[in-house]
């Protein structure tokens, strides 16, 4: 008997009418009995119907359409790698829908420009897609390595502890791959990464003597103390917080962070292989 998962594999064949009688009847039984499959198949058919209309009009697609579709596909692959989970649709269906959304938006904008009287085609502007993406931080010698997927145009600002910009990276349909941030100083140092409205603070361990384990202040100071005491990079993404005084256990960064952040709605993760350097992440739930 065909189940919901198997039915999704036959969306294209059923739409094209190429299923044999037995498979078609099994597919349609699932379609009648499963409301979720009905909704997914209806959305799939709607997308395919829109794509089929492109052959009816002789229009020139935007010059950057291919790059934008590829950026969307790159982002989809990136998110699957980071999340390590199986999505509801197979990856090719997700990619197809993403490409269709971009293509339909571009087609609609071109048609609007052609039909508006007295408006030159060159004045038609296709809205830029703004797909979500996340910064990846991995351990490296004396610091960390940053990666960010290709998702169109982005500006990446790297700032010091006072918020002064130290480096500005303008990404034009480009990715960042393993950009090194190091700290050769004696004490831990804070680096702030700003991408659009997303702020990420990274505390890089120092190379000097380990300072006292007791401290107080805001969450960035906590990140610095953990980095110094435990010799581990600390990544924080969230709002600025003032905390009660804390004590750091140099042998257990995770437990130290949990103790200092009691009663705060934050998630603490120790990422990386035990055989390699690791990173402590503090994230909003």
Is residue 158 one of the residues assigned to a domain? yes
My answer on whether 183 and 212 are in the same domain is yes
- Model confidence over 197-222: pLDDT tens digits? 888 999 999 888 887 788 888 998 99
Domain's final residue, options 83, 101, 123: 123
Name the residue range of residue 149's domain: 136-284
Would you state the structure tokens that stand for residue 276, as one six-digit string?
């390699």
Q: Residue 30: in which H helix or E strand, if any? A: helix 21-33
My answer on whether 280 and 144 are in the same domain is yes
Domain count along the chain: 2
Domain's final residue, options 123, 153, 169: 123
The percent of residues in the chain predicted with pLDDT above 70, rounded, is 75
Average pLDDT over residues 226-253: 88
Amino acid 129: pLDDT: 40
**Position 99 pLDDT exceeds 50:** yes
**Position 103 pLDDT exceeds 50:** yes
Average pLDDT over residues 219-237: 91
**Position 87 pLDDT exceeds 70:** no
My answer on whether 184 and 255 are in the same domain is yes
- Confidence band of 83 (pLDDT split at 50, 70, 90): low
Is residue 128 one of the residues assigned to a domain? no
Average pLDDT over residues 223-243: 89
pTM passes above 0.75: no
3-state secondary structure 158-221: EECCCCCEEEEEEEECCCEEEEEEECCCCCCEEEEEEECCEEEEEEECCCCCCCCCEEEEEHHH
Domain's final residue, options 91, 123, 155: 123
Per-residue burial over 162-182, b = 16 or more CB atoms within 10 Å of its CB, e = otherwise = eeeeeeebebeebbbeebebe
Nearest to 163 by CA among 114, 220, 248, 207: 220
Question: In the chain, helix, strand, coil percent, each to 5?
Answer: 40, 25, 35
My answer on whether 171 and 77 are in the same domain is no
My answer on whether 146 and 276 are in the same domain is yes
**Position 84 pLDDT exceeds 90:** no
My answer on whether 81 and 145 are in the same domain is no
**Position 80 pLDDT exceeds 60:** yes
Amino acid 280: pLDDT: 92
- Confidence band of 190 (pLDDT split at 50, 70, 90): very high
Amino acid 236: pLDDT: 93
Amino acid 242: pLDDT: 84
My answer on whether 119 and 140 are in the same domain is no
Is residue 52 one of the residues assigned to a domain? yes
My answer on whether 157 and 279 are in the same domain is yes
Amino acid 106: pLDDT: 57
My answer on whether 140 and 206 are in the same domain is yes
Average pLDDT over residues 160-169: 91
- Cβ atoms of 55 and 46 closer than 8 Å: no
Average pLDDT over residues 167-175: 89
Average pLDDT over residues 64-69: 71
- Confidence band of 235 (pLDDT split at 50, 70, 90): very high
């Amino acid at each position: 008997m065909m189940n919901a998962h198997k039915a999704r594999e036959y969306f294209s064949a059923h739409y094209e009418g190429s299923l044999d009688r037995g498979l078609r009847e099994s597919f349609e039984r699932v379609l009648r009995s499963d409301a979720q499959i009905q909704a997914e198949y209806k959305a799939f058919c709607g997308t395919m119907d829109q794509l089929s209309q492109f052959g009816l009009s002789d229009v020139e697609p935007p010059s950057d359409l291919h790059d934008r579709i590829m950026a969307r596909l790159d982002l989809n692959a990136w998110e699957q790698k980071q999340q390590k989970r199986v999505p509801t649709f197979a990856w090719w269906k997700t990619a197809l829908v993403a490409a269709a959304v971009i293509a339909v938006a571009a087609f609609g904008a071109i048609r609007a420009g052609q039909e508006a009287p007295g408006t030159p085609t060159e004045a038609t502007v296709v809205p830029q897609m703004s797909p979500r993406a996340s910064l990846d931080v991995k351990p490296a010698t004396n610091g960390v390595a940053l990666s960010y997927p290709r998702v169109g145009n982005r500006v990446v600002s790297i700032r010091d502890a006072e918020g002064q910009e130290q480096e500005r990276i303008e990404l034009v349909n480009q990715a960042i791959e393993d950009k090194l941030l190091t700290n050769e100083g004696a004490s831990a140092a804070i680096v702030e990464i700003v991408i659009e409205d997303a702020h990420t603070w990274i505390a890089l361990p120092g190379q000097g003597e380990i300072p006292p384990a007791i401290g107080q202040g805001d969450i960035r100071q906590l990140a610095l103390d953990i980095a110094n005491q435990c010799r581990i990079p600390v990544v924080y993404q969230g709002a600025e917080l003032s905390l009660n005084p804390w004590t750091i256990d140099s042998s257990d960064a995770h437990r130290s962070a949990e103790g200092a952040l009691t009663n705060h709605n934050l998630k603490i993760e120790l990422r990386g292989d035990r055989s390699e350097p690791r990173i402590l992440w503090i994230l909003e739930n």
